[in-house]
Structure 1
Amino acid sequence: MKFLMILLLLLFFSSCSEVNTTQANEVYKYWSGSNPPTDLKLIKGQYWQSAHWTKEYMMSLKMKPTKTWWNTFIVQNKLEVDTLQ
């Protein structure tokens, strides 16, 4: 019984691994689940995901989109552009 408990604990804790990258292309892939489109220039980024089951994460991505990409992004995500300055 002790052996089974130790084995289960080892399997549970060994499956946890942190994700951490500063490669902009990889950050985009973690964020969107796909490769970046050709009309989007990725400048820099950072992605971190916790090593435990809660999957906490932090992400930042600096990019230079085309006007078409940006307008599509706004429509798809139902965003309102803040025009106040």
Structure 2
Amino acid sequence: MMTFLSCGKESSEADESFELWSNHKVPSDFKIYNGQYWKSSHWSYEYITFLHFKAPTNWIDDFIKLNDLQIATGNYSMPYDAPKWFAPKVGQKVYIEKGITQGSMYFVDEKTGEVFFYEIQL
């Protein structure tokens, strides 16, 4: 009988956090300002990601469509464990998963392409 052990991962380096989250190198047309990534060593896929980056408008639009996100309405709470640099700006649109009121949040400045990204999978 074989036993497979999964290793957890952590990073607070901006580009590495993006790459751990996306499983891809940072695209040349992105600018990653800050990042924090944690993945559990548990057998299930559990992770928490905080990212601050600038992306092309078409990538943001595609991400919203592919993940079936909707604009948040009403009250929402910032993650209690957010790093100090995670400070979405007034006027950014907040997107959440449809039908889910707690969890991942994506703050998007549609004029500049700046994104504050909080994604959680537990």
TM-score (norm 1): 0.63
Tell me, in whole angstroms, the C-alpha distance in 2 between the residues paired with 1:83 and 1:68. 24
* Structure 1 segments of 4+ aligned residues over 4 angstroms from their partners: 81-85
The aligned counterpart of 2:47 is: 57
The aligned counterpart of 2:11 is: 21
Q: 2:23 aligns with which of 21, 29, 33?
A: 33
- Percent identical pairs in the alignment equals 33
Residue type matched to 2:46 in 1?
A: E
Tell me, in whole angstroms, the C-alpha distance in 2 between the residues paired with 1:72 and 1:55. 24
Higher normalized helix content (fraction of residues): 1
Which stretch of structure 1 is more off in the superposition, 42-51 or 22-31?
A: 22-31
Tell me, in whole angstroms, the C-alpha distance in 1 between the residues paired with 2:61 and 2:73. 15
| Structure 1 residue 37: Cα displacement | 1.3
Q: How has the CA–CA distance of structure 1 residues 75 and 48 changed in structure 2, closer, same or farther, with 3 Å as cutoff?
A: same
Aligned residues: 75
Which stretch of structure 1 is more off in the superposition, 75-84 or 33-42?
A: 75-84
Deviations 1:22-62 (A, max 9, x none): 12222222222211211111111111111121232111111
The aligned counterpart of 1:68 is: 58
- Gap regions ≥5 residues in structure 2: 75-90, 92-122
Higher normalized strand content (fraction of residues): 2
CA contact (8 A) 1:48 1:59 kept: yes
Tell me, in whole angstroms, the C-alpha distance in 2 between the residues paired with 1:31 and 1:22. 12
SS at match of 1:37: coil
CA contact (8 A) 1:45 1:60 kept: yes
Which stretch of structure 1 is more off in the superposition, 75-84 or 51-60?
A: 75-84
Q: Alpha carbon RMSD of aligned pairs, Å?
A: 2.8
- Gap regions ≥5 residues in structure 1: 1-7
